Chains A and B, each alone.
Chain A
Amino acid sequence: MIDFLLNPWPWWFSGLIIAVVMFVLLFFGKSFGFSANLRTLCSIGGAGKKVKFFDFDWKKQIWNIVFLIGAVIGGYIAYAFLTHGNHPVEISESTVQDLQALGFSEPSSLQPAELFNWESALSLKGFLILAIGGLMVGFGARYAGGCTSGHAISGIADLQIPSFIAVIGFFIGGLIMTFGVFPLIFG
C-alpha cells in the first residue's frame, strides 16, 4: 500500500481520481473547470473596473480558488511526502531520443532543466518561451471557453460537440508546436 503510494501512480489510478474529483464537484453543485480561475484572478486584481468580461461577482468563485490552493498543496505533498526522491520521469526511449536531437539531455526529474531551472527561465530566450507559452495557454483557454479539465474531461463526459472541437484544436496546436516550431527554436 505504502509502496503503491510512493511509486509513480499508474495511469488508470490517476484517471480514476480525476473522474472522482469531477463527480465530487458536481455533487457539491459546482463544475470541474480549472482555467476559470485565471479569469477570477483578473477580477480579484480589479480588472472588472476596466473590462466588462471581468465584471462579475468573483466571490462566487472562491470555491475554485480554494481548489487551486489545494492543487498547490497537493503538489507539495506529492513532492515532500510521496516520493522516493526526485526520480526521473519514465518516458519512452523514442521520446528521449527525439528530445536529445533537439538538445534536451536525458530526463533527471519531472521537468527539463533546459527550460525550468532559473538560469534558463531567466535567460532572454528561456523567459520568452515560458511567457509566450503562458500567454497562449491563458488566452486560448478563455477563447475556447475551457481547458483540459473543462473541455477534454467535463465537456466530453457530457458528449458536447463544442468540447470535441476544442480538443481537436488542442491537438492541432500541440502538433504544430511539437513538429513545426520546436525544430526552429531548439537544437
Chain B
Amino acid sequence: MAKSEAISWYRIQEMFRFQAFHMYGIIGTAVVLGIIGVALIKKFKLRDITGDPIRFYPKNKSVPRYLIGGIIFGLGWALTGACPGPMVVNIGYGFLSFGIVLIFATLGTYLYGVLRDKLPH
C-alpha cells in the first residue's frame, strides 16, 4: 500500500478528481484477479487449510444501509485521504497524526453501535 502511494491523501484526491488511472489500476487489478480467483474457488470447490470448503457469505439485501453508510464513508475517505487500512500503514510510515484519525474512526464505529437500532438498514 505504502509503496504504491495508495496511502497518500494526494492519490485519493487524484482519484476522486478522475485525473489519473493509478488508484483505479490498483483497485481494478485486485478486483479482476479477485473475480477470477473467487470463480475458480467456487468451480473447483477448493478447501481452506483446515479442510473446510472456502465459503462466501452473501451480504443481506438492502439499499439504504449500503448507500447511506457508503456515502458517509466516502465523505470521510475523501476528507482524510485514508480508509481504515491506510490509516494504520500511515502511522507505521511515520505520519503519526493519523493516530487522531484512527482514534476517531474507532469512536465513529462505537457511535454506530450505539445508534444501530435507530438507523434504517
| Assembly CA distance A138 to B90 (angstroms) | 16
Contacts of B63 in A (CB 8 A): 165
Most buried by A among B52, B69, B87, B89: B69
The yes or no answer to A175 lying at the interface (CB within 8 A) is: yes
Question: How far, in Å, is A11 (CB) from chain B's closest CB?
Answer: 3
Most buried by B among A35, A132, A163, A170: A170
From B1, B23, B71, B79, contact of A132 by CB (8 A): B79
Contacts of A182 in B (CB 8 A): 78
Question: How far, in Å, is A27 (CB) from chain B's closest CB?
Answer: 5
Contact B67 A54 (CB under 8 A): no
Contact A110 B89 (CB under 8 A): no
Contacts of A133 in B (CB 8 A): 75-76, 79-80, 101, 104
Contact A157 B37 (CB under 8 A): yes
Most buried by A among B62, B82, B91, B92: B92
Contact A134 B102 (CB under 8 A): yes
Contacts A26-B48, A144-B70 given; does A42 touch B113 at CB 8 Å: yes
From A34, A37, A138, A165, contact of B70 by CB (8 A): A165
| Assembly CA distance A153 to B95 (angstroms) | 25
How many of A's residues come within 8 Å of B, CB to CB?
108
Contact A173 B78 (CB under 8 A): yes
Contact A8 B74 (CB under 8 A): no
Which chain B residues (7-28) contact chain A, with CB distance < 8 Å?
7-17, 19-23, 25-28
A63-102: CB near B (< 8 Å → 1, else 0) gives 0000010011111111100100000011110110011000
Contacts of A82 in B (CB 8 A): 3
From A75, A153, A169, contact of B27 by CB (8 A): A153
Question: How far, in Å, is B9 (CB) from chain A's closest CB?
Answer: 5
Contact B70 A169 (CB under 8 A): yes
Contacts of B45 in A (CB 8 A): none
B residues apposed to A, CB below 8 Å = 1-17, 19-23, 25-31, 33-35, 37-38, 41, 48-50, 52, 54, 56-63, 65-85, 87-95, 97-98, 100-114, 116, 119
| A-B residue pairs in contact (CB < 8 Å), sample of 24 | A12-B25, A14-B4, A16-B29, A18-B26, A19-B33, A22-B34, A26-B41, A34-B83, A71-B89, A79-B92, A91-B14, A92-B14, A121-B97, A132-B104, A133-B75, A134-B107, A136-B76, A136-B108, A137-B80, A143-B119, A166-B69, A170-B77, A172-B71, A176-B74
Given contacts A38-B108, A54-B113, 13 further A-B contacts (CB under 8 A): A37-B84, A75-B93, A91-B11, A92-B19, A110-B9, A134-B104, A137-B76, A139-B72, A143-B69, A147-B84, A147-B85, A161-B61, A169-B68
